[in-house]
Structure 1
């Protein structure tokens, strides 16, 4: 499988004058004699000739030659306040990639940078584009990458101290053509080492002492089953996407990981290194048509049409050099991006134990090209392809994902067209033509990840069947997207199981619930989860129907047969259970909901999205312990929820308008042992620890014990053949079929206690790979 064409964003002009915006690069410590692959196109970059020429100082004689500790030889250039030095290099090859590297340091009072500039008719005044600043008084390595074209074949290297005091130092400046770095074709079952601080691209890479240095070397090489590519822990690479080629095989994946200090990780930030892909896409409408487009995106780690890979133990960021605004820029950025572009079924890809952070692209765009900490995506099915493309066997486990735009962890696919998602009617023609039909990925497991401070959605599997999402923590979501986002949910995906997750701290502009039974799916199960302190509420059940079928139950676009059972909600605000638009067969039972003083959320609320409404939903055996509450609302825009059933629920504390008429309702104290005391146990960054929720167990003598309705009998639902009652409560107490259960999430006394395993079976276990 071939890699797509890549194009770097061409660096424009760098100004000699001060006052222009700088982009601070990531810097790494550099030992003496750090080698680069030849040929070096810069002249006298180590200043060992004893003169500055062919460098030009400004003002004249402002830059000094000094001796002492250096990174290459004994001499370096020293820059007092307002001193600059430049070198012009001409005759570069067109349409090639180049990299400028070197070592810099500065004292605390200086403002010292190195940058690039072009000379051409388009930019006669020399406009700044990019530069790297010295961050400390210790020598650190910088790297700036750029591409040439027909009008940009001359390059100026500029170093300047724009501070009013202090000094900056420069040494070991080199320029070389990236594409000149020769790659290798691995025989397989070989370990390759890479070190930015001490490697050499001319070495064989097979031992730590003969490590390669650059990602250019890695990206030019093709790897084979059983290979390991290990990056030195603590080293930094900035300005280059890591895109190694090749695929592993069953039982012999290719591993991208680390070596060295166990307490450190390799640090990656592709910054302004852009990737462009030309592919087919769909223009929707009454007469849909296919078109080709070129999309540009930014990612630090990239797999394209590859399979049998493991990516682990990395520290990954993606933001423009020196850019720290959490609102992000306008680009589509990802930390780790795995793409399937009409390659059929790609199998067995694992992303494990990485720290992904500060992915500061667009905070608002949801796309198939990126915009997440970790994303798996599939491109539109081309017209010439006989079959669809998907993933089979995806494991995203043990990662920490924080401060990312727009999403945290996502699977997605453009091969998603079915009537179930056509909420505006503009896909009818495309669906009828059979273009890019729904072709879901299988064997998707998202487990034990910690997601924090994301602009939009926390964890979102899309276009999957039988996905398993468990033991994840989402801490702060919809922080800045300005749109509709939720903590943990699925879209256009069937039979997803969400269990033992915790979602909290969500903001709301729209939605903002901890969990979401969204549209284009059937048979989703939320069980044994904890939701708390979310501005939007606990659970959203939504589907827009079709606008052309307004003022009715809707058609096509729905959320069907969702199950919400044995979960705990504490102090979720606004709307505990929110129904929006058309859904059917939703079963909500044995959940415990607590609202403390001042919360006053509506226990149930309804919005008639596209003037459509649910046709059936049932609430059984839930406990609503309400120290405050809003009204219970089932109507909107003259429409009312249909087929709504309440039976066996407890509503205790605050009673408000709309409280349901429940034939077996209790209003007495359910005797929760310590409501409102639920506590997060997972440390920041993970790994997942079960929250401390024993305060929601039932005390002895609780009227909620053995007083519920038998769900499998009362509901009359088989839930696509799955066990209707779930088999056990939140803490692992058995729920015996046919026996009268407790109310709420605790089945103590009504059931028989059994060992609490760390992994409960997925309701669709035959579709999910075993625990790995």
Structure 2
């Protein structure tokens, strides 16, 4: 693609590109230091873009891919505001360097942009003791197409009191390890004569992944926010969509102090792997109004607090008003899938949850470690006192662990709540290999790559990987061609079982696991029948991962063999323990 296009192509590009409205991206060509054509995000006319590459120099002008800066701080120092951009070279890594911007204002039409250019893997910012990207007191930002590894925090947004800032977009970023991926914080004090009603509104976090981080999203306590003023919300219109969160050390999402917005089409699995001080959950709502959690999967939330009652998928933790949980799949949590609770110690009158809605969800085998009286899918310890209308729980289906009820009321609680049209269903019977003697384990073992040994223990199988053994990345086949004559395929009905769950402990440097499948034992594996997932590297504990293949066109018919590949492991060795593999609805 050439830098200068003819008039027709320019008109097409202008029509397609509507920044902040349709939010589409177009691309233009540039050349890097080696003269290779590079693809970069197309920015509005008049934008000044500063390029950064680890092979560049801070004595360059930074205005093209052929004259990039070397350091992130140099590029950040050039940003003045509306329409400026920092573009990081794909394939490069910055260790101990960060981007810090304060008071640099963009707009939805001409944001300040931090993104990538070039070809290859996403650029990486890693190993900062504080935030990799720090934005303070600023409107109008787009941050996208980055990998952020092992930082104290990933992206910090801070809004001092009486700001009234708007519009942040964080898209297609991968967070591995480290502290909080996206932290929103600041100070707030309502002053009806001079203050804005909100500190920040219109935030969208979309298409991001997090693996092994402490927390994905944390709306921190606003220091000057008076607890007695329960109608003040510093954050308006907070949206999280199409994100995949795996193996957080603590609660995955805390959309607190928020009015309006949603969590939509996200996956949160293996949540709160660390020890909880008070309680544990995947999504904590507190002082949240007009917010939705919808079309989202939450599973394997741990209960690591000694004698704690928690371990929920979603916790209504006080003054949650007119919020909705709908069309979600909540499963295999250590505690109840949901809890309605109220907080007693917020320096003011008790504030109950009011007029919330739990509609058309699927509850499956929650309260896995039920050792409390609260053995249920939904625990209600809140009186839900509201003369203006009930909390409604309706249209849900549930599959219970034996001895666990659908809902349970705390003694002496008679809440304003209605139940209707909720239905119990029976187990669907997934394809599952537990490696504990109850099943045969892996049905057949085919050709392996870089696997030195396979050791079967009482409850798991251990693979010893060594990249020097064979060409290519390590691979482990669940079934393969040397069983053709026995016709021992997996015989999986793909349409009825679109999700693959794996509980593994990955004590290798690999962070990418690629799953291949084939329909016949004779078929060759191909990239068209595969999907990648992020995994925790050098892990000391098990993590549970899920691949949703329901939108993969090639996941169809009967699946007869599969293979796991540590796709990014080009050197080194280590062990992988597989506790459980399940292919299920």
TM-score normalised to structure 1 length: 0.46
Matching residue of 2:172: 353
Pair 1:317-2:149 in alignment:
yes
For residue 613 of structure 1, report the CA deviation from its aligned partner.
3.4
User: What is the correspondence of 1:124-523 to structure 2 with a 5 Å cutoff?
Assistant: 189-196=47-54, 198-245=55-102, 246-261=104-119, 263-272=120-129, 298-319=130-151, 333-342=152-161, 344-360=163-179, 372-381=180-189, 386-388=194-196, 389-405=198-214, 407-414=215-222, 417=225, 431=228, 438-483=232-277, 484-508=279-303, 509=305, 510=308, 511-523=310-322
Q: Structure 2: any 5+ residue segments left out of the alignment? A: 1-32, 35-44, 371-375, 428-492, 501-530, 535-544, 552-585
The alpha-carbon deviation at position 626 of structure 1 amounts to: 6.3
The alpha carbon displacement at 1:238 in A equals 1.3
**Cα pair distance change 1:348/1:201, threshold 3 Å:** same
Distance in 1, matches of 2:262 and 2:315, equals 15
**SS of match in other structure, 1:218:** helix
Contact 1:517/1:524 (<8 A) preserved: no
* 1:689 CA drift (Å): 5.3
The answer to whether the Cα contact below 8 Å between 1:415 and 1:439 also exists between their aligned partners in 2 is no
Deviations 1:439-469 (A, max 9, x none): 3322221101011101121222111112111
Hey, what's the Cα distance between the residues in 1 that align with 2:270 and 2:192? 43
| Pair 1:626–1:687, CA change in 2 (3 A) | closer
Runs of at least 5 residues in structure 1 that lack an aligned partner in the other structure = 1-32, 35-186, 273-297, 320-332, 361-371, 419-426, 550-554, 628-673, 693-772
3-state secondary structure, aligned to 1:220: helix
Structure 1 residues 614 and 257: CA distance shift in structure 2, 3 A: farther
Deviation at 1:415, TM superposition (A): 6.6
Q: State yes or no: 1:603 paired with 2:461.
A: no
CA-based RMSD of the aligned residues comes to 3.3
Q: Deviations over 1:222-262 (max 9, x none)?
A: 3332222100111111112211452212311111011112x
Deviation, structure 1 residue 505: 1.1
Distance 1:221 1:390 in 2: 26
Secondary structure, in 3 states, of the residue corresponding to 2:293? strand
CA contact (8 A) 1:546 1:557 kept: no
Within 2, Cα distance between the matches of 1:383 and 1:490? 25
SS at match of 1:224: coil
Q: What is the CA distance between 1:532 and its match in structure 2?
A: 1.0
Larger radius of gyration: 1
Deviation of the 1:690 alpha carbon: 8.3
Deviations 1:184-243 (A, max 9, x none): xxx9611110011x1110111011110000122123223332222100111111112211
Contact 1:461–1:493, Cα closer than 8 Å, also in 2: yes
Query: Taking structure 2 as the reference length, what is the TM-score of the superposition?
Result: 0.60
Is 1:594 aligned with 2:399? yes
> By how many angstroms is 1:688 displaced?
9.2
Please list the CA deviations of residues 312-347 of structure 1 after superposition, one character each: whole Å capped at 9, or x if unmatched: 11111234xxxxxxxxxxxxx311111111251111
Kept in 2, the 8 Å contact 1:450–1:688? The answer is no
Provide the residue aligned with 2:324 in structure 1: 525
Instruction: Give the match's secondary structure for 1:217.
Output: helix
Where 1:207 maps in the other structure, the secondary structure is coil
Aligned length: 384
| Residues 188 and 223, structure 1, Cα contact 8 Å, conserved in 2 | no
The answer to whether residue 393 in structure 2 is matched with residue 621 in structure 1 is: no
Q: Which runs of 4+ in 1 moved over 6 A?
A: 382-385, 546-549
Please identify which structure carries the higher strand content.
2
Give the Cα–Cα distance (whole angstroms) in 2 for the partners of residues 210 and 412 of structure 1: 40
Q: Is the CA contact 2:50–2:75 (under 8 Å) kept in the aligned structure 1? A: no
Q: Distance in 1 between matches of 2:83 and 2:546?
A: 28
Whether the 8 Å contact between 2:322 and 2:356 is mirrored in structure 1 is yes
Provide the C-alpha distance between the structure 2 equivalents of 1:416 and 1:493, rounded to a whole number of angstroms.
18
Q: How many angstroms apart in 2 are the aligned matches of 1:547 and 1:312?
A: 37
